[in-house]
Amino acid sequence: MIKLNAGLAHLKNKPFKDIEWVEETLESMTLHEKVGQLFCPIGSSDNKQDLEAFIAEYHPGGIMYRPDTGAKMQETHRLLQELSPVPLLISANLEAGGNGIATDGTYFGKQMQVAATDNEDMANKLGLVAGREGRAAGCNWAFAPIVDIDMNYRNPITNVRTYGSDPIRVAQMSKAFMNGIHESGLAAAVKHFPGDGVDDRDQHLLSSVNSLSTEEWDQTFGMVYQEMIDSGAKSIMAGHIMLPEYSKKLMPGIKDEQIKPATLAPELLNGLLRENLGFNGLIVTDASPMLGFTTSERREIAVPKAIASGCDMFLFNRNIKEDYEFMLKGIKTGFLTLERVDEAVTRVLALKASLGLHVQKEMGTLVPGEAELSVFQCEEHKEWARECADQSVTLVKDTQKLLPINVDQHKRVRLYVLGDQEGGLKEGGSVTNPFIDSLENAGFQVELYNDKQVNFPELFMSVNDFKAKYDLIIYVANLETASNQTTVRINWQQPLNANAPWFVKDIPTLFISVANPYHLQDLPMVKTYINAYSSNEFVVEAIVDKILGKSEFKGKSPVDPFCGKWDTRF
C-alpha cells in the first residue's frame, strides 16, 4: 500500500468548474468505466467497428493519435467523440505548431527557436498556432509546453525542444505559450515533472536523474513549475525522472535503491507537486512503454502503482488489455484503493468540465466542422512563423569575417548536408533542395557532396587542386533530437572522415545548424557558425537572407553554444 495518499481533488479551486456534472458522471459510472477513464491509449485504428468495440470494452478517458492529414485526424476524432458516452480528452504533442497533430499543419518552430527571439509574444503566437490548428483537428489537450531546462548540452532529448538553459526565460516563454493554448480552448499539459535536462541521458531509455539539491531545484525547476501553476496550468505530465535529493528529504530513511522516477514516487507527486507547490489539476504519466518506466518496477505492480502514487491518468500501453487487467487486479488486492480511483477519475472529469467538453458534446461541437481546416498553414500563421525565423537565426561567431558572402568572391560553393532526410523522416523534412535552390537563385554555383558514396580520388586530391574547384564550403547540419537515441553528435563519413572540414585553413568555411545548437563541441576549428534551431521553410529563407547580407542577425542564443569549451570561441 502506498502510504502517501494524494489530497482530495478540490473541485471549487482552480482549474476546475461545473462540479455538478463531474459528481453526477462519477456517481453513474461502474468500476470498469472508472478504470477506463484512467487510460489515455495510443490510437491505432480509424475503423468505426474497431473503435466501437474498443470504447465499449475499455471506456478510455482520452486517446492520442500520431499525425496524419488534418482532414483525416478531424474525421477520426469526430467518430471517436460520437461513439464515446463521456467526451474524450484528445491529445497531441503540439510543441512546435499544428504539425504536432496534422502533417499539413504549420511547423512554426522549435521552442528553442522561439526562445532565441527573446520575445515572449512569439511564444504566445506559437501557442496560438498550435492551439488553433490542434483545435481544428479536434484536439483539446496539448502535451506542451516543455518546461525542462537545458542545463546539460549533452542531453540528447531536451535540446531544441526546450526554451533554453535560463530558468527565468523558460518560465516566461512557457507561460506565454500556455496562454496561447488556453486561449485556443485547449488544456496545456506542462512537462516533464520534476524536470529533464540535468542528466545527459534519455528517459526513453532509462530512468534519468535530476541530480540538483533541493535548494537548487527550488530556485530553478521549482520556480518554473510554481509560475506555471500560479498561471493556471490545468495538467502536468510526470516524467520517468528521479529527483533523489527531494525523495530523501520527503521520505527520511529511504534507501537509494528504493528511489523511483516521479511517475512512481508519491513523495514527489503528493508531497512536492500537490502539497508544496499547490497543484490541484490533473497529473498524467509520460508514455508508459518508455524504458524509464518499464525498467523501474514489474509492470503488474507499476500500472496500479502509478495511480496509487498520485498520477491521475496513465499514458499509452504495451498491451491495453493486460494493463487494464493489471489496474483491476491492483484494486482487487487493495494496492490501489477505490478512494484513490475516485479521486483520479474526478480530476479527469474535472479537466474535461473545465474545457466545457460535456457542453460541447450536447451541442455537437466537440470537433469543429470541415471549414475550420482552413486554419492550417493560413497566411497569418505562416507570416508569424516567418517573423519568428527572422528574429531567431543566431550568428554564434564569425571570427574570420566571412559574412556576408557574395557571388563575386564565393561563386563556386561545395555544400555538405549532414543528417538530412528526403521525404521528411524527421519533423522538418529535408532542407537540402531549399538551400540549393535559394543559393542558385542568388547566382551561386552549388555542388552537393554525395554522402551516399565515398569519392576516393577526392580523398587524395591535392590541396591546391581542391582550392581551385571551390570558393566557399557550406555545411548544413539537420541532426535533430529524437526519442530513443543516446547522443546528438556529428559522425563523419568513413573512411578517413571523408566529409570532415579538413580544409578550413585553406577555403572559407561556413557551418549552419538547423537543429542541435551544440555542434561546436565537434567543430572548434570552424570560424563562422550559425544556429537556427528548426528546419522549416521559413528558417531556410531567413538564413539565406542573412548570410547574403539582406537581413541582419537578430537571434540571441538561449544556451551556451560554445559548450563551456575555450577552444570553440575563436
Instruction: Decide: 223 and 167 in contact? Cβ < 8 Å.
Output: yes
- Could you list the active site residues? 286
**The cell 533523489 sits on which residue?**
244
Q: What is the 3-state secondary structure (H, E, C) of 424-452?
A: CCCCCCCCHHHHHHHHHHCCCEEEECCCC
What span, in angstroms and rounded, lies between the C-alpha atoms of 386 and 391? 9
- Report how far residue 202's alpha carbon sits from residue 436's, in angstroms, rounded to the nearest whole number: 34
Cell of 353: 468540465
What lies within 8 Å, CB to CB, of 273 at 6+ separation is 193, 194, 225, 236, 279, 283, 310
Among candidates 416, 391, 395, 415, which has minimal Cα distance to 529? 395
- Sole residue written with cell 587542386: 465
HSE on the CB side for 257, CA within 13 Å? 0
CB–CB of 515/419 below 8 Å? yes
Pick the closest to residue 104 from 376, 380, 426, 421 (CA basis). Answer: 376
Return the bridge partners of 475, or none: 416, 511
